[in-house]
Chain A
């Protein structure tokens, strides 16, 4: 069984935010009005953390892309009352939008604040509606959603591989963010495959995981010389 994981090289990342935009388009994430954003209801599956270090004028800004970490031991699925969020054997943590009752317990339990909630019925501008991605189901108001590692792409890749009767190649299954990154800072692949780029990078001395001490075993690994 493959174990899908992401490596984000913070030394390469320029903080441009292309991954955020690509993700929003790929996954039909609702566009939230500026007033709502003010109130803290912005919806990003791929978020960007900004950390300011030091005092003015010597401020260093760190920009850190933050998707769902697809924890191997996810605190979010343990608390869901209705099996609406689950981890599959390939390590992808998914959401079942049609079953979620919207209790938001999983949001409260996620140490990475990776989930977002549909506070209102999701909305798109008229001209936008024609270019929604048909592979990703639309959400309704009152349910939780989050980064899926573009699991719909895996579906396509799997079908192709099956048809040609071969294994999935390294780099064949890529989420939108890693595909779009102009700096090539986001790698994606199979952690179980010792030949994969992701596996090699995860062994790099620069590699670290967020909040490792919690035992959630995130499958998003950062690379950085800093700190």
Chain B
């Protein structure tokens, strides 16, 4: 297989992967915004805002942790694969 074709394909796939990771972050941030919006509604209407805040304190960190784990894995994989490549090249 042609190596330039290969790298350009790699690039496309890498961008797609980056896009999927950012999608997850968009999803998580959207959820956070949604929950904050609901809290502001309940404060406006004076409708037991305490419960909403308590739930958001649990829910929002959970979503953020999930997204961070995914990002950690993705970054972790790539950080090393480059240095690995360098190693093998050096050998």
Contacts and interface: CB of A to CB of B under 8 A. Distances in A.
Direct contact of A and B (CB under 8 A): yes
Interface in B7-39: none
A83 interface: yes
Contacts of B84: none
Interface in B38-85: 41, 45, 47
A83 B42 CA distance: 10
A108 B41 CA distance: 25
A141 B88 CA distance: 69
Contacts, number: 3
Interface residues of A, number: 1
Contacts of A83: 41, 45, 47
A159 B47 CA distance: 29
Interface string A81-92: 001000000000
Contacts of B45: 83
A83 B41 CA distance: 10
A74 to B, nearest CB: 12
A105 B45 CA distance: 21
Interface in A171-209: none
Interface string A67-100: 0000000000000000100000000000000000
B51 to A, nearest CB: 10
A91 B41 CA distance: 21
B54 to A, nearest CB: 15
A29 to B, nearest CB: 28
A96 to B, nearest CB: 12
A59 B18 CA distance: 77
B25 to A, nearest CB: 27
3 contacts: A83-B41, A83-B45, A83-B47
